[in-house]
Copies of this chain bind each other. A is one copy, B any other.
């Protein structure tokens, strides 16, 4: 920690949209110092060159990309953010942890506890299985205390964030059935990262809406693991994500069966009890529906719900910015928790 109480941060692999957004947030954070950024392709270039929108913002714009030397960077930085592809993050995390840095990983590598599950969903052996038990799931609304003391935080995926936060209070309070939980999500294209593939060209995404990843999207693994850990529920989720032509934002619409005796007051109460103090959860209730444009650029999740008297079922809807509450903002929220800064610092 720096003398003035600020936290020294490094971002490893800062070339994709999540890394870029994280750099933006760190530059603006009053008690975070950007000590190092790395990306193989940009070594020697300034932050303000690689990301022209950050040029001239402050001295951080002048910082040059370096290579990812764990020893050197761990000396500079209290905390290292990994914005790397899954599989790569795992082994990188190890070397930083060995050098004494705390690690906040944006990839999927430490979200699962079970290496067999990892292999099933990610198609390869886990790169650092000995660390699996050490990772804390970076959902502050549920793991605030563990995050505070963690040296390895695994930030949740964007879809899981948008699905777990609406579901968990209802499952924990046994207000809904664990059976037939069905989710349709809509995501802006930045959710696919800055992948240079034909599928993500403007001409292929603009004026296009399409489902993908049916029926077994990778994020199901962490969603179901958390439902089990936090609500004691074992049940496969039915999940279909869709790509829609916008830069940012996720809407998740969740269809659930209501438990006997549950009603609107109980649902409202469960949400209030779970999130009454959570600074980034906005409970819209049944009066207003979420809209990505109200959360884009923020770390909020908006949640609303409607009982359907015709079917007796409940529809819960959420909206987040996939790059903020869905990735980098949540990572910063974890940083705040880990280093004793106010949880909302740099995020409101």
Interface residues of A (CB under 8 A from B): 17, 28, 52-53, 55-58, 180, 182, 184, 186, 188-190, 194-198, 200-212, 214-216, 220, 236-238, 240, 242, 244-249, 251, 253, 255, 257, 279, 282, 288-298, 300, 302, 306-308, 310-311, 313, 315, 317, 319, 348
Which of A52, A288, A290, A348 gathers most chain B CB within 10 Å? A52
Would you give the shortest CB distance from A47 to chain B, in whole angstroms? Answer: 13
- Which of B182, B205, B209, B279 sits near A249, CB closer than 8 Å? B209
Given A236-B310, A298-B53, does the pair A289, B214 have CB atoms closer than 8 Å? yes
Asked if A242 and B253 sit within 8 Å, CB to CB, the answer is: yes
Would you give the shortest CB distance from A343 to chain B, in whole angstroms? Answer: 13
- Which of B55, B207, B290 sits near A210, CB closer than 8 Å? B290
Asked if A311 and B238 sit within 8 Å, CB to CB, the answer is: yes
Would you give the shortest CB distance from A235 to chain B, in whole angstroms? Answer: 9
Asked if B207 and A308 sit within 8 Å, CB to CB, the answer is: no
Enumerate chain B residues within 8 angstroms of A308, measured Cβ to Cβ: 214-216, 236, 238
Q: Which 4 A-B residue pairings sit nearest by Cβ, starting from the closest?
A: A184-B184, A215-B308, A210-B291, A208-B293
Asked if A204 and B310 sit within 8 Å, CB to CB, the answer is: no
CA distance A341 to B184 in the complex (A): 41
- Which of B207, B313, B348 sits near A207, CB closer than 8 Å? B207
- Which of B28, B201, B242 sits near A200, CB closer than 8 Å? B201
CB-CB nearest in chain B for A293: B208
CB-CB nearest in chain B for A238: B311
CA distance A256 to B216 in the complex (A): 16
CB-CB nearest in chain B for A53: B294
Given A58-B348, A238-B311, A308-B216, does the pair A198, B203 have CB atoms closer than 8 Å? no
- Which of B17, B207, B298 sits near A247, CB closer than 8 Å? B207
Would you give the shortest CB distance from A165 to chain B, in whole angstroms? Answer: 15
Enumerate chain B residues within 8 angstroms of A296, measured Cβ to Cβ: 207
- Which of B53, B186, B313 sits near A186, CB closer than 8 Å? B186
Asked if B315 and A215 sit within 8 Å, CB to CB, the answer is: yes
Additional A-B contact list (8), CB under 8 Å, known A188-B207, A238-B315, A242-B251: A52-B291, A53-B297, A180-B313, A188-B209, A200-B201, A202-B202, A208-B246, A214-B308
- Which of B203, B238, B313 sits near A313, CB closer than 8 Å? B238
- Which of B56, B198, B245, B297 sits near A297, CB closer than 8 Å? B297
CA distance A245 to B188 in the complex (A): 10
Which of A17, A188, A201, A289 gathers most chain B CB within 10 Å? A201
Asked if A214 and B306 sit within 8 Å, CB to CB, the answer is: yes
Enumerate chain B residues within 8 angstroms of A180, measured Cβ to Cβ: 180, 257, 311, 313
Given A210-B291, A238-B311, A317-B211, does the pair A245, B247 have CB atoms closer than 8 Å? no
Asked if B194 and A197 sit within 8 Å, CB to CB, the answer is: no
